[in-house]
Amino acid sequence: MRLGTENGRWAEIQRQMSTDGKWSGELEAQRKGGDTYPASVSISSVHDAAGKLTHYCFVFSDISQRRQAEEQIYRLAYFDPLTNLPNRAQLYSLLEQAILEAHRKQDHGAVLFLDLNRFKHINDSFGHSPADTLLAEVGRRLSHALRKEDVVSRLGGDEFVIALFDINRREDAAAVARKALAALAEPFFVENHEILLSASVGISIFPDDGRDAETLIRNADVAMYRAKQLGNSGYLYYSREMNLRSLERLKMEGGLRHALERNEFILHFQPQLDLASNRIIGTEALVRWQIPGQGMISPAQFIPIAEETGLIIPIGEWVIEATCRQLRAWLDAGLEPVKVAVNLSPRQFSQNLPRTVMGYLHKYGIPADLLEVEITESMLMHNADSVVAMMQEFAAAGIVMSLDDFGTGYSSLSYLKRFPIDTLKIDQSFVRGIPHDANDSAIATAIISMAKALKLRVIAEGVETESQLDFLRAAGCDEIQGYWFSRPIPADPYAQLLRETNGT
């Protein structure tokens, strides 16, 4: 056995022994076979009765397992277990050190925030384990695409950060972003399926966009989110204007969280006109957000945020109850019963949804056929069997169902045979171009013909001109909805319009 003689440490130990009479520490020990191991060692001097040094006593133990455990704890603390890339804590530590060094040398650096596009759909389709394998491969590709001195980190989920500690020009960060995107553009293979991935990248530059790790990463995240909003898989540099928009969005999200308790939501109603009788036979309930002192907030501004944050779930439930409450008020006032449609978000889907809807119908004493639920194509695409069961519950209760935004999604026509749909709604993106756009006109005509063949009613939304109305009427469309007849209006003006139009 050889103990403590490596790297000249024996002389150091002897010096301490001569002064203190003892020494303790860690050494690399060697067995007879030549293999080494870490040892915890304590050495003590042994003296006889006369005080003469006679021996040294070595007490040592193999600490290999303890060392491995410490290394494992370190890796868990500072590295992502899935990809073996530095995690958030390690990234922040490395970035702060690099920023101090860059500040001293007056150098520049960059942070690239990379987020995979539509990764949730892959997770939903293949499950967590294959998706994790895919993320590990993403991490490997990003690491191989960059220089050794660059750092690739996984923050969590499908979010990665690339830290460039030394760049000469701002354009260098864009070159790295292009390399990273090119590395991800090659096909991935999951369970023998070819998967094409894309990503959005946001770039922040030190020191222009931040002088600490937190600010640089946050601003790169803001730029990434903006790049994702633009819809093209690419990169975008951070700008102060983006941060202002981000702050406005956070402010709106905070306001949304309190809007229900502050009773700031109201309903507007857009009537649906039957083209055969020229009577109002239905209306769509549309939520509006009215902030005291600020006026009306456009749904285009707050609905996407509500969808993303999950706030659409309580808001959607409020719409259902408020619609039933308004129907009760109209019935009590002697208004002609006309069905009201409410939109369901895919985020609202749950096994309890039919019972929730029917609970409000029962609470306010509303006949089931006066409520129509509008379901989007994307809702049909996911959890199809569960959606079928949910829709069958609605149908059994007598609740009318329509398929909203038909033609804009990816659903197969075979779905129309599976789901108990009563009405197809032609999306306004197809209505806008008729009758002058040949493609829009052909699509609208085809949807109407198909609906007739399937014995479904068809309604066109977004009708704004007389020529659009004439074309749709000639093509056999059953109903229209849009500014040509009426924009969405509050409950009382709608009730008045219903009386005037239907003569009741």
Task: Write the burial class of residue 288 (CB in 10 Å: 0-12 exposed, 13-18 middle, 19+ buried).
Answer: middle
pTM score: 0.59
Structural domain that includes position 151? 80-238
Rounded Cα–Cα distance for residues 138 and 40 (Å): 41
- Residue 17: per-residue pLDDT: 85
b/e 439-462 (16+ beta carbons within 10 angstroms → b):
ebbebbbebbeebeeeebbbbbbb
Alpha-carbon gap, residue 271 to 495, rounded angstroms: 10
The reported pLDDT for the residue numbered 278 is: 93
CA distance 22 to 46: 10
Are both 196 and 302 inside the same structural domain?
no
How many angstroms separate the CA atoms of 134 and 433, rounded?
42
Phi first, then psi: what are they for 192, rounded to 5°?
A: 70, 10
Q: Does residue 312 share a domain with residue 216?
A: no
Q: Which residue has the tokens 């970035």?
A: 95
CATH number at residue 220: 3.30.70.270
Alpha-carbon gap, residue 349 to 284, rounded angstroms: 20
Sign of CA dihedral 46, 49, 50, 54: negative
At 22-78, the pLDDT tens digits run: 888 888 888 878 788 888 889 898 989 888 889 889 898 888 888 887 777 767 667
Predicted local confidence at residue 363, as pLDDT: 94
**CB under 8 Å to 449, separation ≥6 — which residues?**
476
DSSP 370: G
User: Contacts from 48-55 at CB under 8 Å and sequence distance 24+?
Assistant: none
What pLDDT does residue 496 have? 94
* Number of structural domains found in the chain: 3
Helix (H) or strand (E) holding 24: strand 22-30
Both tokens of 314, joined, read 């309580």
Say if residue 109 is in the same domain as residue 169: yes
Name the band, by pLDDT with cuts 50, 70 and 90, for residue 472. very high
Residues 166, 143, single domain; the answer is yes
How many residues are given for the chain? 504
**pLDDT score of 407:** 63
What is the per-residue pLDDT for 466? 93
Q: Is residue 191 part of a domain?
A: yes
Confidence at residue 488, expressed as pLDDT on a 0 to 100 scale: 94
**Domain containing residue 349: CATH number:** 3.20.20.450
pLDDT in tens, 378-387: 666 555 667 7
| Cα-based torsion angle of the residue sequence 5, 8, 11, 17 in order, rounded to the nearest 10 degrees | -60
In a shared domain, residues 118 and 220: yes
| Confidence (pLDDT) at 162 | 93
Which of 238, 272, 296 is at the close of a domain? Answer: 238
For the chain, the straight-line distance linking the first and the last C-alpha, in angstroms and rounded, comes to 106
- Per-residue pLDDT tens for 302-349? 888 888 778 888 999 999 999 999 999 999 999 988 999 998 887 787
Question: What 8-state DSSP symbol labels residue 299?
Answer: H
d(CA 278, CA 264): 34
Question: 240-259 and 299-309 are packed helices; what angle lies between their axes, rounded to 10 degrees?
Answer: 80
Q: Are residues 337 and 451 in the same domain?
A: yes
Q: Do 132 and 231 belong together in one domain?
A: yes
- What does the buried/exposed string (b/e) look like for 98-107 if buried means 16 or more CB atoms within 10 Å of the residue's CB? bbeebeeeeb
379: in domain: yes
Q: Are residues 52 and 188 in the same domain?
A: no
pLDDT tens, position by position, 148-186: 888 999 988 899 999 998 788 888 888 898 899 989 988
What CATH code is carried by the domain that includes residue 54? 3.30.450.20
Indicate whether 260 pLDDT > 90.
no
pLDDT in tens, 63-81: 888 888 777 776 766 788 8
* Residue at 504: amino acid letter: T
If you search the block for the tokens 């969005």, which residue do you land on? Answer: 249
Query: Is 150 part of a structural domain of the chain?
Result: yes
pLDDT at 145 over 80: yes
Identify whether residues 376 and 331 lie together within a single domain.
yes
User: Are residues 97 and 210 both part of a single domain?
Assistant: yes
Same domain, 268 and 293: yes
Average pLDDT, the chain: 85
Residues 290 and 206 in one domain: no
Q: How far apart are CA 167 and CA 225, in angstroms?
A: 24
Please report, rounded to a whole number, the percentage of residues in the chain having pLDDT higher than 90: 31
Final residue of a structural domain among 68, 91, 120: 68
Domain end call among 22, 42, 68? 68
CA–CA separation, 473 and 477 (whole Å): 5
Q: What is the CA radius of gyration of the chain?
A: 34
